[in-house]
Amino acid sequence: MSRFNILLLLISLFTGHLYCQEISLFQQFNGRYDYTAIGNTLNESENNIERDFCELLPQSEAELTLDSNTNVIAAFLYWAGSGSGDEQVTLNEEYIEADGIYTVDYNDPNYGLLTYFACYTDITHYIQSTGNGTYTFSDLDISVPLSSNPGYCGNRTNFGGWSIYVIYEDDNLPLNQINLFQGLDIINRNVQEKIITLENINVLDNNGAKIGFLAWEGDSALNFGESLSINNNIISNPPLNLADNAFNGTNTFTNSDEFYNCDLDVYEIENNINIGDTSVEIRLTTGEEIGGIIFADLIILNNVITVLNSQLPDATIQIDNIETVCASREVTVDFTVYNVNSTEILPANTPIAFYADTQLIASSQTINDIPIGGNESNSIIVVIPDGIPENFILNIMVDDDGSGNGIVIELNELNNTTNTPIELIPLPEIQPLEPLLGCDVGFNTAVFDLTTKENDITFNSPDDVSYYNTLEDLQNSTSAILIPDNYQNTTLPEFIYIRVETEICFEIYRFELLVENCPPYVPEVFTPNNDGYNDWFNIQGLYDIFERHQLLIYNRWGSLIFEGNNDLRWDGRANRGLTNQGDLLPVGTYYYVLHLNDTNYKPLTGFVYMTY
């Protein structure tokens, strides 16, 4: 952004006809600035004296002379004439095309509807590179309307002219606010008065205050009821511009009264504007009744420019970045507060308010004094209340204490806000998966390989997949299951949640862990010799799993010699029969019957060999 931060406020720069053309603020400049203007007419003489010409001069010249210690900040070329417009002209043999065009109509009692136009274009870079010297304007062609409609020359409103406005910087100047207003307004015998209110100004010191005008078609010989008033005070600049003939073909900058049918004038208005004023009222009049006939000058006002001393900050704010988090109502906002279009520092602790739609959701403030032309960036995390929909407008207002009130007096109180649409990312729907089965290893627990479920989901990388015991842990990415391929459940029922990272959010899957009693494994031999290895009839997958089982051991003659359960395991001794109870039984083959007492399994039978 350039250091003068030209702020386009009310109308956009584009090529085409502008139908809403009342004089309004076009651009504003704040700094050690002033302006000058050059231009010339394309009429060979005043058009109301003699009807001896009805065409324009092919070209005219004007001299730009700026002090060497000035810098050109902005420059605009204006041209106007009779007819509906010519948007292509030449300046110093350089082709120029209009950024925009305005038109106004006058309903003449003799000739009917007559149209007049004014064009403008931004030539800042051209003036900066060309600098001082002679500027020649040419190729304004209005020959068709002049020749095809006799009304222009018949009522003496055939005219053409041009002007260049130059806003410049000079370190020796006070801090000024320059407001450039433009459009196209007309007064004539049909509309004899026009009141224009210029808004968005701030007057801190009226010393050196001035106002300039660019108007077309004024005639020095026609002064019927013609006046120019500022805040109800008629202004003049004699001998060039008299109080009863403000628009009379003059150029204040060159002290010329031969600026035929064009007016490029500037007035000192120290006594017509007060400290604290935020607007200026301009009143233009023309028309006087003589012998029952209204005589009037036709005057077309193109632009108004004010130069006022104004030392104030101007806080603006810009959203740099918005970050939303999946399944969260937290929004991270990166923003920058500017004090660019200003003439004073913006103080620290200037409040900043954040609104979701119209509801205040957070407050912040600037940290440091922001100098003229400076800025300060910051970041805040705002929590969106549950009552706010997932789609809303985030409005941020600098110099807002949270109740819509500012605490800093600014150059422009209407540019403190910015906004952007926000769409929160809701918690994704949980996608169910088939349960994962595991064999009971005791007390309804099993060891699971959770990663087998990756065959049922879609992901880009294994690093995008993580496992959690709760949905809350999944949302917060905390307490992930560290060894998912060797996981033992702790409760039953138990659910596992899978989080799969995606480009903008994540997906959620859920499945249940089911523990089943798998068939026990019965060994064929055991050795109860107290060596610490295989000292009892250890049936794998039985104890603490089939907790209601019954184990019956028979000797080779079919006698029951041992009866066990989940709490009593066979270590080679007898606890049934008439003899040898409590003693180790002899080496040999024994027959077992295992009642699992599970509806899914029949009793298991077989032989086991016991040796020492």
Q: What is the pLDDT of residue 579?
A: 67
Choice between 574 and 221, residue whose per-residue pLDDT is larger: 574
Helices (H), strands (E): how many in the chain? Answer: 4, 41
Q: What is the pLDDT of residue 44?
A: 92
Q: Is the pLDDT of residue 12 over 70?
A: no
Q: What is the pLDDT of residue 411?
A: 75
Considering the segment(s) 430-516 as one domain, its CATH architecture is: Sandwich (2.60)
Please give the sequence-ordered ranges of beta strands (E in DSSP) within 325-412, or none if there are none: 330-339, 351-356, 359-365, 374-383, 391-398
Alpha carbon separation from 224 to 66, 221, 295 (Å, rounded): 37, 9, 6
C-alpha atoms less than 13 angstroms from C-alpha of 177 in its C-beta half-sphere: 31
Q: Which secondary structure element, helix H or strand E, spans residue 144, and what is its range?
A: helix 143-148
Q: Is the pLDDT of residue 269 over 80?
A: yes
Q: Tell me whether domains 430-516 and 522-612 share a fold.
A: yes
Q: Which secondary structure element, helix H or strand E, spans residue 590, and what is its range?
A: strand 588-595
CA 283, CA 307: separation in Å to the nearest integer? 18
209: DSSP letter: E
CA 160, CA 509: separation in Å to the nearest integer? 76
Tokens encoding 596: 């699992």
Q: How many other CB atoms are there within 10 angstroms of residue 120's CB atom?
A: 24
Stretch 287-314: mean pLDDT, rounded? 88
Q: What is the pLDDT of residue 296?
A: 86
Q: What is the pLDDT of residue 205?
A: 61
Stretch 363-376: mean pLDDT, rounded? 96
Domain ranges of the chain: 7-309, 316-423, 430-516, 522-612
Q: By the 8 A CB rule, do 319 and 396 touch?
A: yes
Q: What is the pLDDT of residue 309?
A: 81
Residue 318 CB contacts under 8 Å (≥ 6 apart), including other chains: 335, 336, 338, 418
Q: What is the pLDDT of residue 65?
A: 97
Mean pLDDT computed over every residue of the chain: 90
Range 522-612 classified under CATH 2.60.40:
yes
Q: Which secondary structure element, helix H or strand E, spans residue 128, and what is its range?
A: helix 124-130
Q: Is the pLDDT of residue 72 over 90?
A: yes
Stretch 250-275: mean pLDDT, rounded? 91
Q: What is the pLDDT of residue 584?
A: 87
Alpha carbon separation from 447 to 443, 491, 512 (Å, rounded): 12, 12, 13
Q: What is the pLDDT of residue 14?
A: 29
Q: Is the pLDDT of residue 8 over 70?
A: no
Q: What is the pLDDT of residue 145?
A: 95
Banded model confidence at residue 510, pLDDT cuts 50, 70, 90: very high
Q: By the 8 A CB rule, do 298 and 106 touch?
A: yes
Q: Which residue in the block uniquely carries the two structure tokens 């900066």?
A: 128
Banded model confidence at residue 18, pLDDT cuts 50, 70, 90: very low
Q: Is the pLDDT of residue 501 over 70?
A: yes
Dihedral sign of CA atoms 154, 249, 306, 192 in order: negative
- Please tell me whether residue 543 adopts helix, strand or coil conformation: coil
Percent of all residues in the chain with a pLDDT value above 90, rounded to a whole number = 69
Q: By the 8 A CB rule, do 560 and 524 touch?
A: no
Give the tens place of pLDDT for each residue, 227-240: 889 888 899 989 99
CA 584, CA 578: separation in Å to the nearest integer? 14
Q: Is the pLDDT of residue 15 over 50?
A: no
The rounded Cα 286 to chain-centroid distance in angstroms is 47
Which range has highest mean pLDDT (275-279, 413-417, 465-469)? 465-469
CA 125, CA 162: separation in Å to the nearest integer? 19
Q: Is the pLDDT of residue 465 over 70?
A: yes
Tokens encoding 306: 């004010």
Q: Is the pLDDT of residue 358 over 80?
A: yes
What is the bridge-based pairing of β-strands 525-526 and 604-610? parallel
Q: By the 8 A CB rule, do 605 and 591 touch?
A: yes
Instruction: State pTM to two decimals.
Output: 0.57
Q: What is the pLDDT of residue 200?
A: 67
574: DSSP letter: B
Q: What is the pLDDT of residue 414?
A: 85
pLDDT-wise least confident of 137-141, 575-579, 581-585: 575-579
What burial class does residue 30 get, using C-beta atoms within 10 Å of its C-beta: 0-12 exposed, 13-18 middle, 19+ buried?
buried
Banded model confidence at residue 196, pLDDT cuts 50, 70, 90: confident
Q: What is the pLDDT of residue 202?
A: 65
Residue 547 gets the label, from left (phi > 0), alpha (psi -120 to 50) or beta, of alpha
pLDDT-wise least confident of 203-212, 364-373, 496-505: 203-212
Give the tens place of pLDDT for each residue, 529-575: 999 999 999 998 899 889 999 999 999 999 999 999 999 999 999 99
pLDDT-wise least confident of 191-200, 362-371, 479-488, 566-575: 191-200
Banded model confidence at residue 30, pLDDT cuts 50, 70, 90: confident
571: which strand partners?
Answer: none
Q: How many other CB atoms are there within 10 angstroms of residue 20's CB atom?
A: 9
CA 119, CA 100: separation in Å to the nearest integer? 6
Which CATH class, in words, describes the domain spanning 316-423?
mainly beta
pLDDT-wise least confident of 5-19, 20-34, 529-543: 5-19
Backbone angles phi, psi at 269, to 5 degrees: -130, 30
Give the tens place of pLDDT for each residue, 105-151: 999 999 999 999 999 999 999 999 999 999 999 999 999 999 999 99
Rg (CA), the chain: 46
Choice between 502 and 201, residue whose per-residue pLDDT is larger: 502
